[in-house]
Amino acid sequence: MEALSRIVDRIERLLPMLEEWLRAATGAAPDSDFLDSFRAFRWDASRGAGRLVSIAQPARFDLEDLQGVDEAVARLIANTEQFLRGLPYNHVLLYGERGTGKSSAIKGLLEQFSSRGLRVVEVGREHLAQLPAVLAALRAGRNHHFIVFCDDLSFGAQEEGFRELKVALEGGLEEPPANVCLVATSNRRHLIPESREENAEAHVDERGELRLGETTNEKLALADRFGLVLGFHGFDQETYLSIVSRYLGQADVRFGVDDVREEALRFALERGNRSGRTARQFVDDCVGRHQLGQPAS
């Protein structure tokens, strides 16, 4: 009897592992308890048919820390509100210079709206070909709203995943899940690198109208499927210093931006850009040296 009890205990311990293996092997949809327990996920296609993997500690970000991109952030928040309330909404492309807060904005949305059922699923560019499987898995999570997040997106027109993304945005026969919003970030407005050969494809027809080449049209066919396209552009000097000031105010230091103004500007000049990321890096460096007992400037 004791031996049977030990066997039952062992089986009970193995059951969760078996369920996890079956989900990975078959691509089974996640259950509601799994989706309730975590706020963020990534799509893992390294084993079997692909599956959602939980992110136990997603990066936190306060949308109030995004400065210099107020209009873009306001429109992103409004679109997310529409999405969560079951109103018409658009898939979103965030484009612009590096370090201006595109990825941080998605982290901020998760922080602000996760209590209302928002979940974020990160899908790497190398897994975009599995986007139909991702959408099928999320369709079952009717009690949640999912942002499917593709970061730093840019690829060639024939690259794997290009057409799957285009169809998922708009164009397939199957109606996309109402509980999924696709959001991509890119340094490029049109997502695909331009070349001299592509420009040569353009021509003026017999009526004097400009006709774009097939490759350029293919680019626009993808970019145009994002109904909301928001630019995150570089900052001027005062905006950069304002961000430095905000981060310094959150740190345990007794000096302000006026005390380190020249050093902050030199830091940005050495890196070739003024951005929120550069401001964060400067403050981390400055505060770290201060706490080691080194001068702040």
Chain segment 17-43, per-residue pLDDT in tens: 555 544 554 455 677 788 888 999 999
pLDDT at 41: 95
More confident residue, 2 or 14: 2
What global pTM score does this model have?
0.76
Helix, strand, or coil (residue 288)? helix
Band the pLDDT of 238: cuts 50, 70, 90: very high
Residue 290 has pLDDT above 70, yes or no: yes
Strand 40-44 to strand 92-96: parallel, antiparallel, or no bridges (unpaired)? unpaired
CA distance 293 to 295: 7
Band the pLDDT of 74: cuts 50, 70, 90: very high
Least confident of 5-9, 40-44, 91-95, 97-101: 5-9
Whether residue 37 contacts residue 60, with contact meaning beta carbons closer than 8 Å, is answered with no
CA distance 143 to 66: 30
Tokens of 141: 């999570």
What mean pLDDT is predicted for residues 112-134? Answer: 90
Indicate the average pLDDT of the chain.
80
